[in-house]
Amino acid sequence: MRRPPAPAIASATLLLNGQVVQQANAGQAGLRIKLSGTQFRADTEVSINGQVVVSHLQATPPASPDIFVELDENSAIRNSAGQLLVRARNTNPIASDLSNEISAGQLVGPVITRVKVKKKASGALLLNITGTGFPSTGTITVFANGSQLALQSTSFEPPDFAQAKLAPGTSPTPGTTLRIRLITPQGIQSNEVTATSK
């Protein structure tokens, strides 16, 4: 069976309460992405940052239909800071190739730029996290080998520094990849950054 033609995205526009914006604060209501292009069909599947999202095909004859993605229906995307990278594919009767990738703008929130890992003489592991837009309180999550690690303590020094401490004995073995993210009290997630355990 031949694959259906892949959609092509001509434009991806971020809208806040109907107004075109280049960026918006992550987590707020009323955000929508409008996609224009070709080969959009009822079975077109849209993904943002690699995650399939709920989307709606809007017929606009005689022109090609547009697709709308309401971020209020896709809270994981709405609540994450960073670029909104959009792709699409047709899925029926079999999946097409993915479309071109296009940015619909950016959601603003805490952004991690660097994590420095330091092993203390006691065996405790310190994660010194730098970036921008950090809250004064919040949560730091650290995952290793698919499991979330228990943190002994966390501290925030807004707007650009946070620290997480793993107790001796709970630190993963040296060389383990750590996946680190900040979450604000409102549930806004930073980008995810990886670091290597020492």
What is the percent of the chain with per-residue pLDDT over 70, rounded to a whole number? 98
**CA atoms of 62 and 85, how far apart (whole Å):** 28
**Closest C-alpha among 190, 32, 8 to residue 105:** 32
Domains of the chain as residue ranges with CATH:
8-108 (2.60.40), 111-196 (2.60.40.10)
Q: What is the dihedral of CA 17, 51, 87, 32, to 10 degrees?
A: 0
- Residue 38's pLDDT is 93
Q: Give the angle subtended at the CA of 83 by the CAs of 95 and 186, to the nearest 5°.
A: 110
**pLDDT tens digits, 17-35:** 999 999 999 999 999 999 9
**pLDDT tens digits, 158-169:** 999 999 999 988
- Residue 136's pLDDT is 95
- Residue 184's pLDDT is 95
Q: CB-based contacts of 151: which residues, under 8 Å, 6+ apart?
A: 140, 142, 164, 165, 166
**pLDDT tens digits, 43-102:** 999 999 999 999 999 976 667 799 999 999 999 999 999 899 999 999 998 999 999 999
- Residue 177's pLDDT is 97
Q: Is the pLDDT at 138 greater than 70, yes or no? A: yes
**CA atoms of 172 and 175, how far apart (whole Å):** 8
Q: Is the pLDDT at 134 greater than 80, yes or no? A: yes
- Residue 40's pLDDT is 93
- Residue 171's pLDDT is 85
> What is the band of 1 on the pLDDT scale with cuts at 50, 70, 90?
confident
Residue type, 119: K
Averaged pLDDT, 117-144: 95
> What is the band of 150 on the pLDDT scale with cuts at 50, 70, 90?
very high
Residue type, 85: L
- Residue 61's pLDDT is 63
